[in-house]
Structure 1
């Protein structure tokens, strides 16, 4: 069983920098989990009207409702089988902001039905986004979001483009500095930039058979719909 990113990217995965290949090979087959620790040089928001929506999302660990500079953070990528037997990898980011930590939770699976990485957001997986990763000529990874869907009980609706946010994630490895660099930007087609951050981190790998998934890392509720 290959990693969820390799399954989606195919041969394009081999064009990634070797350190990115290892990081995005985290899975049940590799037997590895990855914890990144570093500093976000900047966490930013768009115009003032965005803040109430960010605050609402933060109640379920979706996005980050505060801005900051030089913010310590961790990202935990741990693979496991979810309640429906699907290989899942956590992408849980914890930001040590003044006044208290904030989390931005995501869990990702491979969706053969949608031919993408499916990103479930938040503690209850109410939001799902299609992610389309590609390797850049310099060996970095570019991930662009596609369709977004909202699920709550019997409700299953596509989020219209004028309401949703288009996410773009760029991750690279800096050989000279010996670290990963990440830049995230979320924009709305009508209202412009909404949210983003950029920073750097180093990574450590652990054996999942020895460490498992720590308490509180998995979502409270899991969504079967893809």
Structure 2
């Protein structure tokens, strides 16, 4: 039976820690479908970085609007967050990032609550072929996100990433009271390849009426979620 809820995805994942977030972070990440609006962050990345060894993987990511090989300084970007209800009746989020590199690149993902694993599961890219559990915490009023178990999705099957191929990724999103802006920093590394991808920047948040036609990844809300039997050798497996 579908779950009737108006609890935002991030509030559900954080539980009691939710109230420790800065109010601006709570408003932005407390987005639910009933709001009928889209959160739009616009700003500049002071730095986009990528590792030379990982370039083939980054190029492959461009076919799915996932990772990309371009780097640079002072790059304009935009991130749009849309809430929707997934097939299990839980609030979910599609995030679409646009980086004004040459050529312009996108980085999309769709986050869903996974009650069987008691965490958020993230589907990366247009088709959600790369999948990972993500674990949240609050650090000094900001949101911290870390990758857990990771899979390649093949149809309805989840194939765990071999440990040498797993990524260790962290993202921090916080509100700078002095600057009156949001700040974000992300980094992706691998035990053997080292630094793979990263960015850091600042942005302002705005709101607009949600456009149903923009929810391109809503179809990922009906795909089977990984369950505890889909074991993984990733760094987050013991969490």
Of 103-112 and 85-94, the range deviating more from structure 2: 85-94
1:76 is matched with 80
Given the alignment of the two structures, is residue 106 of structure 1 paired with residue 114 of structure 2, yes or no?
A: no
Q: Using structure 2 for the length normalisation, give the TM-score.
A: 0.86
Deviation at 1:140, TM superposition (A): 1.1
Q: How many angstroms apart in 1 are the aligned matches of 2:216 and 2:92?
A: 10
- Give the structure with the higher percent helix: 2
* 8 Å CA contact 2:94, 2:217 repeated in 1: no
Structure-to-structure mapping, 1:19-30, within 5 angstroms: 19-30=24-35
Match of 1:141 among 135, 140, 143: 143
1:15 is matched with 20
Given the alignment of the two structures, is residue 219 of structure 1 paired with residue 217 of structure 2, yes or no?
A: yes
* Paired positions, count: 219
Alpha-carbon deviations, 1:95-128, whole Å to 9, x = none? 0112x21000101111111111111101001111
SS in 2 for 1:78: strand
Structure-to-structure mapping, 1:150-189, within 5 angstroms: 150-153=152-155, 155-189=157-191
Q: Using structure 1 for the length normalisation, give the TM-score.
A: 0.90
Alpha-carbon deviations, 1:151-203, whole Å to 9, x = none? 12254211122102111001110111111000000011233211100001000
SS in 2 for 1:177: coil
Give the RMSD, CA atoms, in angstroms: 1.8
1:67 is matched with 71
Q: How many angstroms apart in 2 are the aligned matches of 1:45 and 1:156?
A: 27
Alpha-carbon deviations, 1:22-51, whole Å to 9, x = none? 1110112444420100001111011x2210
1:90 is matched with 94
Alpha-carbon deviations, 1:136-155, whole Å to 9, x = none? 1x211111110111112254
Give the unaligned 5+ runs of structure 1: none
Q: How many angstroms apart in 2 are the aligned matches of 1:83 and 1:58?
A: 28
